[in-house]
Amino acid sequence: MMIFDTHAHYDDDWFDGDREELLESLPKQGIGEVVDVGASLAGTKEAILLAERYPWIYAAAGVHPTETEELNEENFRWLSEQTAHPKVVAVGEIGLDYHWETPRDVQKLWFERQLELAIRKDMPVIIHSREAAADTLAMIQKAYREAGQEGKELTGVIHCFSYEVEMAREYVRMGFYLGIGGVVTFQNARKTKEVVREIPLEKLVLETDCPYLTPAPHRKERNSSLYLPLVVQEIARLKEISPEEVIRITRDNAYALYRLQK
């Protein structure tokens, strides 16, 4: 049974030494599909190149909130054009990140523009939200309402979900999936563990965010999709079900999220 990694960054410099060898090995080690997620204009370009090279890799086109100062009308048009690529399956990762110093008005402007792009192109979004829970939710709720008024929809995944169960339920109510990765294995990840217990498995997807957020007991190492069985085991423990069921249902969820045909 194959695992679907819904959020990775194999375009990251950390993989420069062994990227080809590692990516070639994934299907032989139980990883069926990977979405390489753009976090900048350059990252989006590299993600698409990886998706073109490897049949089991897909790409997402987007600019991370901390990189939004690089956006202008000209390169946003380029980004918009990338969504037409046959292996681009989402707009992302986009959102708000108040941990760093990127001006919040700039983040909000391009978050709104990228949400509008996804609605216009009828594509799911991959949402990044760090220390910005209320503003992220408010902006998504607004876009969700406006899309509905136009007969369109806004769907996607809240990547690396780290907020309270009540907020998780609101996102699920709107049709979003929640991305669960290595954080769920951390001893102090009380909120994430509670979310996994309380939210139906049918609304959860597996992710790594590699090379970051490596599961315990490998937290100081570089993350990769090969560590996802540790995430599966913890979700299975919290849900009191088999690892095989976790893999099967989350893979089905990922196909539905990204609108892929098996």
Per the CB < 8 A criterion, the answer to whether 206 and 181 are in contact is: yes
Would the CA dihedral through 128, 7, 188, 175 be positive or negative?
positive
Q: What is the pLDDT of residue 262?
A: 79
Q: Which two tokens stand for residue 4?
A: 């679907």
Collapsing DSSP to helix, strand or coil, 139 comes out as helix
Asked if residue 2 lies in contact with residue 31, where contact means CB atoms within 8 angstroms, the answer is: yes
Give residue 78's identity as a one-letter amino acid code.
Answer: W
Q: Positive or negative CA dihedral for 94, 95, 96, 99?
A: negative
- Type of residue numbered 134: A
3-state DSSP assignment of residue 262: coil
Give the span between the Cα atoms of 125 and 129, in whole angstroms. Answer: 12
Cα 209 off chain centre by? 8
CA 213/CA 206 separation, integer angstroms: 13
Residue 122 contacts residue 85 (beta carbons within 8 Å): no
List the chain pLDDT tens, one digit each, 262 residues: 899 999 999 999 999 999 999 999 999 999 999 999 999 999 999 999 999 999 999 999 999 999 999 999 999 999 999 999 999 999 999 999 999 999 999 999 999 999 999 999 999 999 999 999 999 999 999 999 999 999 999 999 999 999 999 999 999 999 999 999 999 999 999 999 999 999 999 999 999 999 999 999 999 999 999 999 999 999 999 999 999 999 999 999 999 999 999 7
- Supply the range of the domain harboring residue 32: 3-258
pLDDT given for residue 32 in this prediction:
98
Domain of 165, CATH number, reads 3.20.20.140
Beta bridge partners of 33: 4
| Count of domains forming the chain | 1
Please report the pLDDT score of residue 209 as a whole number: 98
Among 166, 147, 160, residue whose Cα is nearest residue 186:
160
Segments of 9-135 assigned E as strands: 31-37, 57-61, 88-97, 125-130
